[in-house]
Every structure is written in C-alpha cells, then in structure tokens.
Amino acid sequence: MAVIEVQNLRKTYGDTVAVRDVSFTVEPGEIFGILGPNGAGKTTTVESIAGLRAPDSGTIRVLGRDPGDKSLRRDVGVQLQESQLPDKLTVSEALDLYASFYPEPADWRALTRELGLTEKLATAYGKLSGGQKQRLSIALALIGGPQIAILDELTTGLDPQARRDTWDLIESVRASGVTIVLVTHFMEEAERLCDRLAVIDHGHVVALNTPAGLIAGLGAEQRIRFRPSAPIADELLTALPEVREVRRHGPQIEVVGVGNLLHAVTSVLAVNQIIAADLRIEQASLDDAFVQLTGRSAKE
C-alpha cells in the first residue's frame, strides 16, 4: 500500500495558483523526489502533505490518514525550507527539546555525528552558519524516528563535501526503513538518491518516472566515439536499428543513435573482431530531461 497518496491536489493563494492539479503516490521505503523550477509548487505540495496547508481541493492520505490527523506528528518528520528557532537556543538544547516531543526519539548524538554537528552542540542557533542551520533542521526532522521524512531543499547552502555526507546520511536513514520525500533542484542529488521523481512545473506533474526512465523517455540521441583497430564499413553500423548516423573524424568514428546503442555497436565490432580504442560515450543527462520537460534549467 502507498504511504502517501496525493490526488488532484489544488492550492491557490489569492490569485496565484500555486498547485493546479498534482497527483502521485509514494511507496514504502522509497526515496521519492519532487523536482521543478522555482515557483513550480513543490513546497506547497509538501507542506500540504505535512498538514501545514489546507488544499482548496483534492485528497491527500498519509499512512492512510488525513494530513491533519494529530497522530501523524509522530510518524512524519518535516524539514522545511525556512525553519526558524530562537537565536539563543543552543544546538543541544534544540535537540533535547525536539526529542522530548516524542515517545521514542532517535539517538541524536549519532545523528549529529553523521551531520558533522558534534562540535557545535554548545553553539547558539543565531551563531550557526546557513549550512549548519540546515544540518540541524535535518537532524530535527529525523529526531522523532519518523516513518516518513519530508525534506525540502535538503542540501541547499551546503558545501560539496557536506552535501555528499548528507546524501550518505539519507541513504542510511532509508536503509533503516524510512520513506523519504525529497524536494530538490539539484540534478545530481535527484539522480543519485531518488528511486522515482515527479517533475512539477506550473502546478502540474509533467513527468513521473525513475531518473533513468526520465532520461530514456527523452528518446535522446547518444554518441559513441572510438578508434577501430581495423577498417570497418559504415554499412555494418548503419544497418543497426539503433544507429541514426555514422561520421568519420580522421581515424575516429562517431556513431549517433538511440536505445542501447553501446551494446549494439560493440556487438557488431566483436563479431568482426574489431577492438574499439579510446571509446567515449556521451549520454543525455537528467538535466537534459528536465530542460526538455520544463523548458528551463533547474538552476535558473
């Protein structure tokens, strides 16, 4: 059974339609990504799932319950974009306070270790850097030992090393059985972490698939370049259904095509006892898929 079901969600703020018509389900134990350009409606969608916004229409079920159901506070951990704590509260005080809300809190010392916050336990919230505040808000989302964690712009403001550490943490949280909903605009993050992604644009789901499925759905061309160890006739390659074009660049051959191009080309070479030296492959990325779907780059 799906742990989150969103059906025809719609939410407006005055004249602004933030979410027009969004539907998707999240399965137990998956890392589900919500990807989209600025203002696409991602935060409004996850805030509605977290019970923080009342939809104008549509239905949401979280663990089979209404998002407003108080019993969900224990089961759903939320890290939102702009969580604010009192400036004078120290990191350890904040963790103690949040842990006290839950009957079986997670071991926050282990969490802070994984998040690189151990040295900041005595530091006041107001004195933390943006990245440290971000890491604390992730720890606070996980402290209740939730079944579902909703993380909005998880690694924004983190340096590349901290971002990678956070990815490792998210993977270990998932390995412990937690379902994760991740709002992101980092393609690398989406590709590395997410099992499935909903791409949201102008308040609609424009694609719903695995990262690999989104890329394959482009029907995008791939290019393979190599130097054959012996002469090869173009016809041997152009006869393959995957191959669209063969170009020659001096000793190098460039093959342009679709589908499982690499397998098709290397099989023909093997049959003809030709070795492909200096083989390079250029493939479409999730970024390409995103641009094709939304007409914009995620970084804009």
Ligand X SMILES: Nc1ncnc2c1ncn2[C@@H]1O[C@H](COP(=O)(O)OP(=O)(O)OP(=O)(O)O)[C@@H](O)[C@H]1O
The interface with ligand X within residues 31-70 (CB under 6 A) comprises: 36, 38-44
CA pair distance 206, 193, nearest whole angstrom: 20
Number of residues that bind ligand X (CB under 6 A): 11
Nearest to ligand X of 42, 135 (CB atom) = 42
CA pair distance 138, 95, nearest whole angstrom: 11
In whole angstroms, how close is the CB of 171 to ligand X at the nearest point? 24
In whole angstroms, how close is the CB of 295 to ligand X at the nearest point? 15
Maximum Cα–Cα distance across the chain: 74
Nearest to ligand X of 40, 215 (CB atom) = 40
List beta partners, residue 247: 254
DSSP 183-206: EE--HHHHHHH-SEEEEEETTEEE
CA pair distance 193, 211, nearest whole angstrom: 10
Nearest to ligand X of 12, 25 (CB atom) = 12
In whole angstroms, how close is the CB of 75 to ligand X at the nearest point? 23
Closest C-alpha among 44, 51, 97, 99 to residue 71: 51
Nearest to ligand X of 17, 258 (CB atom) = 17
Nearest to ligand X of 18, 95 (CB atom) = 18
172 binds ligand X (CB under 6 A): no
Return the structure tokens found at 75: 């089961």
Nearest to ligand X of 41, 55 (CB atom) = 41
Q: Give the residue, chosen from 8, 16, 118, 297, that forms a contact with ligand X under the rule CB under 6 A.
A: 16
CA pair distance 193, 196, nearest whole angstrom: 9
Backbone conformation region of residue 8, classed left if phi is above 0, alpha if psi is from -120 to 50, else beta: left
Give the length of the chain: 300
In whole angstroms, how close is the CB of 15 to ligand X at the nearest point? 9
77 binds ligand X (CB under 6 A): no
In whole angstroms, how close is the CB of 287 to ligand X at the nearest point? 16
Nearest to ligand X of 13, 101 (CB atom) = 13
User: Chain centroid to CA 280: how far?
Assistant: 27
CA pair distance 160, 129, nearest whole angstrom: 15
155 binds ligand X (CB under 6 A): no
154 binds ligand X (CB under 6 A): no
In whole angstroms, how close is the CB of 46 to ligand X at the nearest point? 8
* CA-to-CA separations, 220 to 36, 189, 257, 292, in angstroms, rounded: 20, 21, 8, 10
In whole angstroms, how close is the CB of 47 to ligand X at the nearest point? 7
Return the structure tokens found at 300: 């804009």
Return the structure tokens found at 140: 């606070």
In whole angstroms, how close is the CB of 273 to ligand X at the nearest point? 53
Nearest to ligand X of 47, 191 (CB atom) = 47
297 binds ligand X (CB under 6 A): no
198 binds ligand X (CB under 6 A): no
Give the interface with ligand X as residue ranges (CB under 6 A): 13, 16, 18, 36, 38-44
